Structure 1
Amino acid sequence: MELYSNLKEGEKGAWLSIWTYLALSAVKLIIGYIGSSEALKADGLNNTTDIIASIAILVGLRIAQKPPDADHQYGHMRAETVASLVAAFIMAFVGFQILLSAGKSIINPVKASPSMLTAVVAILSALVMFLVYRYNLNLSKRIKSEAVRAAAYDNRSDALVSVGTAVGILGAVIGFPIIDSITAFIIGLLVIYTAWKIFYPSVHTLTDGFDEDDVESLSEIVLRVEGVVKLKEFKGRMHGNLMFIDLTITVNPILNVIQSHRITEEIERKIGAKKPHSVILVHIEPDLTN
């Protein structure tokens, strides 16, 4: 099934993020301590949480590939969404830790300015993370993966954080050491904001939220199918990347079972053309308004 093969391909993005974050976090933390940069250390600490978050996404993608069983008759695809939620919690926790550490540095500032090497590391890190972001974003669009898209947004956030880190370090180098600590504080805020951007859509999906634009566009498709008199009810929910749609339509009461069934097949065909990974259930009722 294409959906499962897409989830398997999504693991490439998770592995790329894991190895990149492992390398960058080690370099940033070491150079941050050697070069006396609170901002680079905060950026490195942020990347350590990204490792855990990326591992959570990888685990979620693997569980999501398991076929339906006796306990999960709709499959395990929501594991991908749960993984995104776990990643958001981890990022939020570390974001608050960064805020606390940076706040202490602002209240009790150190006089030593960071070395220029820390700024170079931050700039190179931003470039690397931007390349990883572009790869994961393109991958998420191709395989339509919520978890890989969350990883891409995290990659983009980390690239921007590293740019900000470099700016803060350069400000401290030219004679304003407190800018380094202020930048670390801003990094903490950005980490928390990124966590929220991942958290909200994950919770929306897990609570059976459904895109209103999809409701409108798919309803129009149903109403244009020949033989449909009214669309009485439309319900939709996401199960990982699989869309479940339940419809109730009315048809001419003189139609026989075969004719009515053909209408449901046409609805399924047209919705499936727009939303390939979808399961559609159509309930038919006789139209008694005339």
Structure 2
Amino acid sequence: MDNVLKRGYEARKVTRIGLVINVLIACMKLLAGFFGKSSAMIADGVHSLSDFFSDIIVIAGLRLTDKPEDACHNYGHGKIETLVTVFISCLLMIAGFYIMESGISKMIGVIQGQELLRPGWIAFFAAIFSIVSKEGLYVYTIRAGRRINSPVLIANAWHHRSDSLSSIGTLIGIGGAILLGNKWVILDPIASVVVSLFIFKVGYDIIKPAINELLECSLNNEEINQIKDILDRYSEVKSYHKLRTRRIGRKIAIDVHTLLDKRLNIVEAHDIANLIENDIRALFGDISIINIHIEPFL
């Protein structure tokens, strides 16, 4: 199994584990909200269901991403992972908007004299369990995403954390209502509005590089300078130009025109080009797409 297939397999395995955990957590929250008479916990359970649906979309997207190149997709299907990353980021920001809208409406209701139900302890402990389990799932998923360089896994990890953050707001509201009395129920919507702002920030940070990739944005300056350092390492390379770079999912695509000493024969020039390719692949991974055009230096 090559590295691309290994990465795809590991990404799907991590997501499938998350899918099972998300289903269990969502069911637990809904039951705890019903029996604990907590509307906040029921809303939190509905939010958890979005993680379940996002996991299904991630698994489907990763399967399509791992398809090999074909006549219509000469560079593979890596951009599907980028599209899924954008979709997950949008779900994340929609979840943030839902949490903010719910929090603001509850704050207005409390200010206007609306009395919220005082929840039971079962909802309180369900919120604690949700925070711990979702934080664990976040850590597990984001570590795997960084290890295999998968933006969609990283985005999905932050979706898990958004559920954990929303549960913190729910925990504060439920705990305040139980321990301090009904007048402190307003702590729940206040905390949820603050949490929603963090969710918006995370969603923006994830979607920005994904959009840039879809728009064929170049690698960052540090990565481009690393490529230039490799080219400068070879004395046979007298100059180079038309250095172009872009990302295709987990792949890096690089095109460059090199001007080599005209006294080199075609075999020697080809060997130099191969050495440069190997050095770049050692830096960016063996699935990199590298095209080196050779020209004589006059």
Identify whether the pair has TM-score above 0.5, normalized to the shorter chain. yes
Structure 1 stretch 48-57 or stretch 149-158: which is displaced more? Answer: 149-158
Residue 8 of structure 1, CA deviation: 1.9
1:241 Cα deviation from its structure 2 partner: 0.5
Please list the CA deviations of residues 224-248 of structure 1 after superposition, one character each: whole Å capped at 9, or x if unmatched.
1231122323211111101111112
Q: Is the 8 A contact 1:60 1:79 kept in 2?
A: yes
Give 1:286's aligned residue. 296
The one of 140, 144, 149 equivalent to 2:145 is 140
Matching of residues 54-65 of structure 1 within 5 Å: 54-65=55-66
What corresponds to 2:186 in structure 1? 178
Greater Cα offset, 155-164 or 9-18: 155-164
Q: What is the alpha-carbon distance in structure 2 between the residues aligned to residue 250 and residue 40 of structure 1?
A: 65
Measure, in 2, the Cα distance between the counterparts of 1:166 and 1:64.
Answer: 39
Matched letter for residue 225 of structure 1: Y
Tell which deviates more after alignment, 148-157 or 186-195.
Answer: 186-195
Displacement of 1:33: 4.3
Unaligned 5+ runs, structure 2: none
CA pair 37-226 structure 1, distance change in 2 beyond 3 A: farther
Please report the TM-score for the alignment, with normalisation by the length of structure 1.
Answer: 0.90
CA contact (8 A) 1:39 1:181 kept: no
Q: CA deviation at 1:62?
A: 0.6
1:3 and 1:241 mapped to 2: Cα distance?
A: 9
For 1:24, the equivalent position in structure 2 comes to 25
Long gaps (5+) in structure 1:
none
The count of aligned residue pairs is 288
The answer (yes or no) to whether the contact 2:256–2:293 under 8 Å persists in 1 is yes
Q: Is the 8 A contact 1:133 1:153 kept in 2?
A: yes
User: Does structure 1 residue 188 correspond to structure 2 residue 196?
Assistant: yes
- 1:31-70 Cα offsets, whole Å, 9 max, x none, are 2344344543443232121122221111110111111222
What root-mean-square deviation, in Å, do the aligned CA atoms of Structure 1 and Structure 2 show? Answer: 2.1
Pair 70,23 (structure 1): closer, same or farther in 2 beyond 3 Å = same
- Give the 5 Å matches for 1:197-276: 197-209=205-217, 210-276=219-285
- SS at 1:229 equivalent: strand
Partner residue in 1 for 2:130: 125
Note the 1:11-50 alignment, pairs <5 A.
11-50=12-51
